[in-house]
Amino acid sequence: MERKFRHASVLLDETIEALRVKPEGVYLDGTLGGGGHAYEVCKRLSDSGSFYGIDQDEAAIEAAGKRLEEFGKKVTIIRDNYCNAKEALREKKVEHVDGIVLDLGVSSYQLDTVERGFTYKYDTPLDMRMDQRQKLTARDIVNDYDEQSLYRIIRDYGEDQFARNIAKHIVQARAEKPVETTFALNEIIRAAIPAKIRAVGGHPSKRTFQAIRIECNHELDVLRNSLQDFVNLLNPQGRLCIITFHSLEDRIVKNFFREMENPCTCPPEFPVCVCGKIPYGKVVSRKPVLPSQEEIGENPRSKSAKLRVFERI
């Protein structure tokens, strides 16, 4: 059965307001998804404005293409990873843009499409690839990474206090036979977490599945390696709006924005700056923008979302 690509765009109004769309401007969405943020940007563009959308998921590209069809030649959609945005735009003769959106959430389509193997709720082969052209899968990570690497991933990316025990149980289980499916992994994780913790926490697999997904798609490395390019792409007064769903992502964005605002490396005791590094811009709000209780009620997956905004000088 064909499943419609759907993804409720989190913090939609807040992001569009922060972006301050100019009718004649040039805008980029590095995580196009179903085109929710994109549609609101394109609605505000005149015939001289233009929009570029990037996504690595084939289903997202198809869905967004249909959703944005009414905007015609204003819209250019590119299948790629957002870390290649600078080169992709340069090929289109675009050197700078007036605003950029990154929504780092996994789409509802990806989570709910059983065969994609993102979710612990259905029994399906382990996969978790955002881009189906990629070779590395969740199955490869679970069966091929050594115990120390699994522990590090689950500890750092899943922030699970039982990371060491989970890694140990995975290695013991796969010695008997390969771990092929989501439910097989569920059972291993369940056995590694004390019953009293399982009774009061969320689903015992949630953190480990998140960790494996982040590793499979190199999500944090891609984010770190892309931020400077995004700032460099911005025109003066252009804004970069990033929505995160994970504390590690948010920390990376917060610290990077802070560094872009104050890149000076001089010791605090120096009376004047001698390093010569000048600010790239300013952080628009000191605290992240959070979803309203109304939005959380309508879309529970928005609960952990945080929007941070940076403006180029």
Helix (H, G, I), strand (E, B) or coil at 197: helix
pLDDT in tens, 100-129: 999 998 876 676 677 888 888 889 999 999
In whole angstroms, give the CA distance from residue 171 to residue 188.
10
Q: Are 97 and 236 in contact (CB under 8 A)?
A: no
Q: Quick one: average pLDDT of 154-159? A: 96
Looking at residue 109, its pLDDT comes to 67
Question: 6 falls in which pLDDT band (50, 70, 90)?
Answer: low
Question: 7 falls in which pLDDT band (50, 70, 90)?
Answer: low
Looking at residue 1, its pLDDT comes to 35
pLDDT at 151 over 90: yes
pLDDT at 234 over 50: yes
Looking at residue 105, its pLDDT comes to 85
What are 112's two structure tokens?
Answer: 């709910």
Residue 130 DSSP one-character state: S
Lowest mean pLDDT of 12-16, 161-165, 262-266, name the range.
262-266
Looking at residue 208, its pLDDT comes to 97
* Burial of 154: CB neighbours in 10 Å, binned 0-12, 13-18, 19+: buried
Query: Which CATH fold topology does 12-109+219-312 show?
Result: Rossmann fold (3.40.50)
- Across the chain, what does the average pLDDT equal? 93
Looking at residue 3, its pLDDT comes to 45
User: Can you list the pairs that 13-17 forms with residues at least 24 positions away whose Cβ atoms lie under 8 Å?
Assistant: 14/289, 14/307, 15/101, 15/103, 15/241, 15/243, 15/307, 16/40, 16/41, 16/44
For tokens 């009620």, name the residue: 297
What are 199's two structure tokens?
Answer: 């009774």
In whole angstroms, give the CA distance from residue 157 to residue 136.
17
Looking at residue 196, its pLDDT comes to 87
Looking at residue 121, its pLDDT comes to 86
Calculate the alpha carbon distances from 40 to 80, 94, 203, 288, 310 in Å: 22, 21, 35, 21, 20
Q: Quick one: average pLDDT of 85-106? A: 96
Looking at residue 108, its pLDDT comes to 66
Question: 2 falls in which pLDDT band (50, 70, 90)?
Answer: very low
Q: Quick one: average pLDDT of 203-207? A: 91
Q: Give the class (CATH, top level) of 135-216.
A: mainly alpha
Sequence spans of domains, the chain = 12-109+219-312, 135-216
Looking at residue 200, its pLDDT comes to 79
Question: Would you tell me how many other CB atoms lie within 10 Å of the CB of residue 274?
Answer: 11
In whole angstroms, give the CA distance from residue 256 to residue 223.
11
pLDDT in tens, 236-285: 999 999 999 999 999 999 999 999 999 999 998 998 889 989 999 999 98
In whole angstroms, give the CA distance from residue 168 to residue 188.
10
135-216 has the same fold as 12-109+219-312: no
Looking at residue 116, its pLDDT comes to 85
